[in-house]
Amino acid sequence: MQILKEVAYRYFKARPNCLAFYAGSSSDVPSIIFMSEKPLMETDKLQIVLVYTKKLKDFRMNAYSKVVGGKANDIANNIILSREIYSYFINSDQMVQSRNKFKLYPQFFRTVEIVGREKIFKYLTTDLKMPVIGFDRWFGPIDFSHQESDADVMKFYNARIFFPEQMRESRRKPILEVLNNVHALLTKAGLERIFHGDIRVTPINGKAIGQYSAKTKDIRVEPNTKNSSMVIYTLIHEYAHKYYYEYMSQQQQNAVKEQK
């Protein structure tokens, strides 16, 4: 799975029906491309192209290298193929025109098609770690009030859990047990009201087990989480951040800072 670091979502090229993200400002090949026949703000059917950038770069380097003993025809064909593939990325319009060609080269690209705006939201913000505020900017807000049941989106007390694609039940079980214990402890402390919003089961950078985002107001949980007292109290700590940013006044926050 090609997953960009969140910071990489700042490097992009955009058209109404095509959005390409790059790993850095100097990258000449996008890492992820989103395309649709409709404008992205309206689409309910999204084609995603995940680019294996290292494999593609290595192929181009080898194609232009003088390989001792290599067959001239093979070298020439590889150079032609490399030029053709890189022509797909000249601009966003060319990417859209080449949308059916990416499937011809599974060694360099993985194509995924997601149908339904709620599923698109879940996949991009959970599986691909796109910031929610970025999704709102490029795809528009999502209304979940009429959402049908989904195997990867689960209502949990007053919260909503987003699981990654094809996560086995055996891996979901300890996460649900942990969150159930967290909810019980918050309820016992009279803080059940802060257990709300989105909980995303998604890889977290570093060794963190849980994470709260003040920007998106969601809680993130590492997919390999086990049910233990350490994990439970780590997530309680993250909900303390949620309480601080969402429920305390500026005056109360200043009072907490003065105690440090």
pLDDT at 179: 97
Q: Which of 84-98, 112-126, 172-186 is the least confident region?
A: 84-98
Distance CA 27, CA 203 (A): 24
- Residue 218's nearest CA partner among 203, 196, 191 is 196
Q: Which of 186, 214, 211 is nearest to 201 (CA)?
A: 211
pLDDT of 44 higher than 90? yes
- Give the mean pLDDT of 49-60: 89
Residue partners of 8: CB distance under 8 A and separation at least 6: 21, 22, 23, 24, 31
pTM: 0.81
Higher pLDDT, 177 or 1: 177
R_g over Cα of the chain: 22
Q: How confident is the model at residue 97 (pLDDT cuts 50, 70, 90)?
A: confident
Judging by beta carbons within 10 Å of its beta carbon (0-12, 13-18, 19+), is residue 260 exposed, middle or buried? Answer: exposed
How high is the pLDDT of residue 13?
Answer: 84
Which of the four pLDDT bands, split at 50, 70 and 90, describes residue 10? confident
State the first-to-last Cα distance of the chain, in angstroms, to the nearest integer: 41
Residue ranges covered by each domain of the chain: 6-139, 153-258
Band of residue 43 on the pLDDT scale cut at 50, 70, 90: very high
What does the pLDDT read at residue 90? 74
Which CATH number is 153-258's, of 3.40.1350, 3.40.50, 1.20.272, 3.30.2010? 3.30.2010
- Residue pair 123/114 in contact (Cβ under 8 Å)? The answer is yes
State both tokens at 213.
């985002």
pLDDT mean over 189-210: 93
CB-CB contact of 22 with 14 (8 Å): no
Helix (H) or strand (E) holding 220: strand 218-221
